[in-house]
Structure 1
Amino acid sequence: MIVTGCSRRKKASIDPQLHPANLIAGSVSDVAMQWTALITSAPRTHRATSLYAGRSFTDAVWSAQAARLPHIIVSAGLGLVEAEQEIPAYALTTVGATDENVLSKCPSGTRPSDWWRAAFPDAPLQSMIAQATGRVHLALSRTYLEMIFEDLEQLTDTSLRKLRIFTGADETLKGSRFEGNILPYDARLDGPDSPLPGTKSDFSSRALRHFTTLVLGQPEADLANDRALVESSLSSMRLPALPKRERRSDEEIRAELIAVWAAMKGNRQRMLRHLRDTLLISCEQSRFARIARELEGEGLR
């Protein structure tokens, strides 16, 4: 089984009713109840794998299909979603300074894990992992790991032995019983010898895809052997050279994006790489995404 996060990027227009802007601020449970009512009554017109967009999600889908494994998607808006499940086109997240962040409707200090527990108290992650045969590949960013961490803590030792965790957020699990389940992917996956370089935001799914290619068609192995396999595959890879990048204002970054938007057909991955690698401009993933969304809202496509 493969478990990955969803994506804020969608291939279809969002249902305007399925947005945190329609929620009345209140306790976490009150906001969760409002959201559940909206989602429950919404038409489900999109298959999950056809709705979510972006490289991170695309790599996760590739891994699930190549390995012929069930694919479960963790969504802050819908809970646990099967890849072929029909879902509505919604907008909700628990991270970032955006109007899609549902935590802005909740009391100050509310964590993603508080939202998950209130909105999806019966999410069957524990039983799904217990019933899974073979490895359970968990490819999640820090936000998703923190959101479902309490669910993971309920796993039995038998279930724990199945887990293979792919993440760039090792510190989130440091000192926990899951630390040994993290496969030893590191910055070498972003280096000059990597077959799958990318950004920090898609690190976990790239690591999953790399591992999938390593074990495809091979007999099942235990955790120690899987860790050794990853170490061996990375041993000849070099760390990336870190270029010196300059800070630029939002207006300057907007201008650079507008200049290449048509040529790059609005491809965010290519434009971010252009900013960082060609122009040597320092731009955090969240900042880039915000500016790109603003430009799309102004009519760039």
Structure 2
Amino acid sequence: MPAVMTCKVIVVTNCTNRKRVGEDAVTLASADMGGSLSSVAARWGKAIRKVRPSRQAQDIYVGRGFSEARQVTATLGGTLHIISAGLGVVGGADPIPSYDLTVADGANSLKPLLAKLGKGPNDWWKALTTEFGQQRSVRALLENNADTLALFALPGSYIALIADDLASLTPQQLNRVRIITSDHGRALVPEHARHVALPYDERLEGSSYAGTRTDFPQRALRHFIDVLSGHRLSIDDARASVSEAHARTKEAGYSGQGTQN
């Protein structure tokens, strides 16, 4: 199969509900979440800037999904980047302050605030990157890593968060992107970027990469690299290889319930 010629690979994953946070962690309550979304983002930014960076981003997030993304990054000799609901795009080695905020379900979730304001996760991302600067956007990440293949392993909630950012990518930038998510997440990818979203589905659970719904994208990423050497494939060959791998699993008799994250 034709190879994709790249100088390096970057791995992009999501922040997690599980974090190593200190007593001074910025939360929704401490940042005062009343008013318009832009005013919330401004107060959030002010609260974040008051807290000194505590450790590297890659040492704050915990859980299997994040560990899988770190392992793939190490395997490929690449760099890790995180889509953070509280900070924008950050590098794994970037020192960041202690905070607790997510677009997923759970404590300190943005969902109640967004529902109250009649806004979506993409609206928060726009307000957040306006507050912290466009250098924290997905597009800036691609522009600053012009010679890379970017592997995005994200659940649907984080695809929804950066959907407008993905929609802003040029065809040339999208050629260097692979999006690994669930069936649900793939439906949230902007239409013009959907061809770079790989067809992973619940049949992954019939392989040695089985796990929970919350870590599905990162487990699929491991499969893509460890089993398929997908970073060496063109997008058409990558999609075909994933489909063929799933077909072999189906032939082996797996019947799953589906992944919705």
TM-score class normalised by the smaller sequence: 0.7 to 0.9
Residue 225 of structure 1 aligns to a residue whose secondary structure is helix
Q: CA distance change for structure 1 residues 14 and 229 in 2, over 3 Å: closer, same or farther?
A: farther
Q: Distance in 2 between matches of 1:33 and 1:148?
A: 19
After the TM superposition, which residues 85-234 of structure 1 pair with which residues of structure 2 at under 5 Å, given as runs?
A: 85-96=94-105, 98=107, 100-105=108-113, 107-121=116-130, 122=134, 123-130=136-143, 131-168=145-182, 169-173=185-189, 176-191=191-206, 194-214=207-227, 216=229, 220-234=232-246
Give the unaligned 5+ runs of structure 2. 1-9
Q: Kindly state the Cα deviation for residue 5 of structure 1 after the two structures are TM-superposed.
A: 0.5
Q: Distance in 2 between matches of 1:285 and 1:126?
A: 26
Q: CA distance change for structure 1 residues 32 and 68 in 2, over 3 Å: closer, same or farther?
A: same
Q: Kindly state the Cα deviation for residue 111 of structure 1 after the two structures are TM-superposed.
A: 1.3
Q: Kindly state the Cα deviation for residue 4 of structure 1 after the two structures are TM-superposed.
A: 0.9
Matched residue, 2:28: 20
CA contact (8 A) 1:187 1:240 kept: no
Q: Distance in 2 between matches of 1:240 and 1:48?
A: 37
Q: Cα RMSD between the aligned structures?
A: 2.4
Q: Distance in 1 between matches of 2:213 and 2:256?
A: 14
Matched residue, 2:46: 37
CA contact (8 A) 2:86 2:99 kept: yes
Rg larger in 1 or in 2? Answer: 1
Q: CA distance change for structure 1 residues 24 and 124 in 2, over 3 Å: closer, same or farther?
A: closer
**CA deviation digits over 1:220-254, x for unaligned, max 9?**
331111122222333321364459xxxxxxxxxxx
Residue 82 of structure 2 aligns to a residue whose secondary structure is strand
Q: CA distance change for structure 1 residues 219 and 61 in 2, over 3 Å: closer, same or farther?
A: closer
CA contact (8 A) 2:52 2:97 kept: yes
Q: Kindly state the Cα deviation for residue 14 of structure 1 after the two structures are TM-superposed.
A: 4.9
Q: Distance in 1 between matches of 2:159 and 2:231?
A: 28
The TM-score, its normalising length taken from structure 1, stands at 0.73
CA contact (8 A) 2:36 2:117 kept: no
**CA deviation digits over 1:99-144, x for unaligned, max 9?**
x124544643121111111111213321322433242111111111
Q: CA distance change for structure 1 residues 177 and 46 in 2, over 3 Å: closer, same or farther?
A: same
**CA deviation digits over 1:144-183, x for unaligned, max 9?**
1111111111111111111111000222137x01221111
Q: Distance in 2 between matches of 1:232 and 1:34?
A: 49
Q: CA distance change for structure 1 residues 221 and 69 in 2, over 3 Å: closer, same or farther?
A: same
The TM-score, its normalising length taken from structure 2, stands at 0.83
Identity of aligned residues (%): 30
CA contact (8 A) 1:201 1:285 kept: no
**CA deviation digits over 1:36-95, x for unaligned, max 9?**
011112111111111101111111111111111121100011111101111122111234
CA contact (8 A) 1:42 1:88 kept: yes
Q: CA distance change for structure 1 residues 102 and 219 in 2, over 3 Å: closer, same or farther?
A: closer
**CA deviation digits over 1:171-204, x for unaligned, max 9?**
2137x0122111121111012xx01101111111
Give the unaligned 5+ runs of structure 1. 244-283, 287-301
Q: CA distance change for structure 1 residues 77 and 181 in 2, over 3 Å: closer, same or farther?
A: same
Residue 72 (str. 1) matches residue 81 (str. 2): yes
Q: CA distance change for structure 1 residues 211 and 109 in 2, over 3 Å: closer, same or farther?
A: same
Q: Distance in 1 between matches of 2:100 and 2:66?
A: 16
- Work out which structure has the larger RCO, using CA pairs closer than 8 Å and 6 or more positions apart in sequence: 2
Q: Distance in 2 between matches of 1:134 and 1:21?
A: 39
Q: Distance in 1 between matches of 2:170 and 2:33?
A: 39
Q: CA distance change for structure 1 residues 128 and 236 in 2, over 3 Å: closer, same or farther?
A: same
Residue 48 (str. 1) matches residue 64 (str. 2): no
CA contact (8 A) 1:126 1:151 kept: yes
Q: CA distance change for structure 1 residues 139 and 113 in 2, over 3 Å: closer, same or farther?
A: same
